[in-house]
Structure 1
Amino acid sequence: MDAFIRFANQSQGRDRLFRATQHACMLLRYLLESKADKEAVVMKLKSLESSVSTGRKWFRLGNVVHAIQATEQSIRVTDLVPRVCLTLANLNRVIYYVCDTVLWVKSVGLTSGVNREKWQTWAARHYYYFLLLSLVRDLYEILLQMDRVARDRAKREKSSRAPPGHSVVNEETEWLQSFLLLLFRSLKRHPPLLLDTVKNFCDILIPLNQLGIYKSNLGIVGLGGLVSSVAGLITVVYPQLKLKTR
């Protein structure tokens, strides 16, 4: 209960909860659209999705400040690759939130001189760059973890002095199995990295679809957004599962 209260008191937690609701509505709407007797339910889901999306914009108004602070922190990261990836990613996130704020100003009618389509494209593009750079950072961290796991395994085999096993399986198949097993063990050993990779991979489906780079249907986008939102909710409730920078 205490964890839930702490979670509910955070604007980030409420935004993630609203986001999960928004994409759950999107996924349900996709599943029910083909059913002839569900038109009223689909319209209600669409209305709820729109209302939740509008509410989320209020939670994001101050995020540009957090993105600027994250950029300043990422510059001080010791490892070169994460420093470059995170700094560039956070700069794109700053621009994304600026575009998002302009779109909010347009949506509430405070200005009429804003080209909505152009700003939406800019927002989607910089959100895509942010996620792409974040995935590059995740890939780098995964490779580091795989290298550590491989070295630990080699040390254990050397200390046990066990003779290497020989397999009659095709070499390519054996290599693929070994790679996948190593990847599985590396992510199992580092849950924050697994959650961050899943979240970023699922999120990137949204700008890919918006920019027309990879067209997905409403169901895939909704499912990806829901999985990403659940992963984000977990890191808010359990901060120790948030991927840390070194």
Structure 2
Amino acid sequence: MSNFPKKAIAFGNTVSGRDKLCRLLQYSFRGLSDLLDRLDSSEYAVLVKKFKRLDAGISTARKLMRIGKSLEMLYAAKDAFYIENLVIQTCVALSRISSACFLFLDHIIWLRRVKAIKIDITPVSRLSNQFWLLSLVMNLIRNAHDWYRIQQYHTQKQATAKPTDFVPETLPTILDTAKNAFDILIPLNGLQYAKVPGVVQGATGALSSIIGILTIWNNHLKLQNK
């Protein structure tokens, strides 16, 4: 418990930490507003409007916090080329480049929301969701490859005592796979490839945010790029 205040301060000092907390609140409000709206009761009408405003307000605030993040993500993409495993290298590189494009378009959407520029936001939003979807698809392909490596390791371990290559840890792989699976529903809905109710978006978005918070709080839960 003595380390908790220090860890909490360190967590709050990171942009990623603050963003994940805000994201948790955002998707919680989205889920709650849709859930109450489905009850179709006039007594919840005021709450539904408040939650929707909070969802939109936090979304705009998160976009502001991420200003410049696109360049950081693009710069981080070069580190992927130092990964020895070719599949992981390709997936991480394409995921980070796609994320950089998604975040850049996110900056444009923020500028439109604060009325700094006047453009048709619909095609920009769609393209942003496409890059987000591509990034998550790359992440899930990487997750599938990690599970294959884990399965191969256990098969080899039963057959021989010879040392093997790096094997992903199971718990971080479970968490990362779940996070990506939860997140992918949101751009699928945004692109109208699937119809995902707001309450489901809220629940999956909140769960993936909790996983993100855990991996920032405890670095041992974060998937290693090897």
When normalised by structure 2's length, the TM-score is 0.90
What's the secondary structure of 2:116's corresponding residue? coil
Given the alignment of the two structures, is residue 103 of structure 1 paired with residue 109 of structure 2, yes or no?
Answer: yes
Q: Could you tell me how far 1:220 is from its partner in structure 2?
A: 1.1
Q: Once the 2 structures are TM-superposed, how far is the Cα of residue 48 of structure 1 from its aligned partner?
A: 1.2
Q: Does 1:132 align with 2:101?
A: no
- The counterpart of 1:202, out of the listed 182, 205, 219, is 182
1:10 is matched with: 14
Q: Aligned letter for 1:133?
A: M
- Residue 196 of structure 2 is matched in structure 1 by 216
User: 2:54 is matched with which residue: 35, 48, 56?
Assistant: 48
1:59-81 deviations in whole A, cap 9, x for unaligned? 11121122112211112211000
| Secondary structure of 2:38 counterpart | coil
1:122 matched to 2:102:
no
Does 11-20 or 35-44 show the bigger shift? 35-44
Q: Percent identity?
A: 27
- Following superposition, the deviation at residue 153 of structure 1 comes to 4.0
Q: Which amino acid aligns with 2:154?
A: V
Letter in 2 for 1:224: T
Aligned partners of 1:192 and 1:243 also within 8 Å: yes
Q: Find the counterpart in structure 2 of residue 236 from structure 1.
A: 216
1:51, 1:108 → 2: CA distance?
Answer: 11
Distance 1:129 1:154 in 2: 38
Aligned ranges 1:45-194 → 2 under 5 Å: 45-112=51-118, 114-154=119-159, 190-194=170-174
Deviations 1:116-155 (A, max 9, x none): 0010000000100000011000110011011112333455
Which residue identity does 1:151 align to in structure 2? Q
Following the alignment from structure 2 to structure 1, what is the Cα–Cα distance between the partners of residues 214 and 108? 30
| Separation of aligned partners in 2, 1:29 and 1:103 | 23
Unmatched 5+ residue regions in structure 1? 157-185
Tell me whether 1:30 sits opposite 2:34 in the alignment.
Answer: yes
SS at match of 1:212: coil
Cross-structure match for 1:227: 207
Q: Decide which structure has the larger Cα Rg and report it.
A: 1
Count the aligned residue pairs: 215
- 1:23-48 Cα shifts (integer Å, max 9, x gaps): 01111112211331211111111111
Distance (whole Å) between structure 2 residues aligned to residue 97 and residue 44 of structure 1: 27
Partner Cα separation in structure 2 for residue 135 and residue 228 of structure 1: 14
- The two structures, once aligned, show a CA RMSD in angstroms of 1.6
Which stretch has the larger CA shift, 11-20 or 52-61? 52-61
Tell me the SS of whatever aligns to 1:33. helix
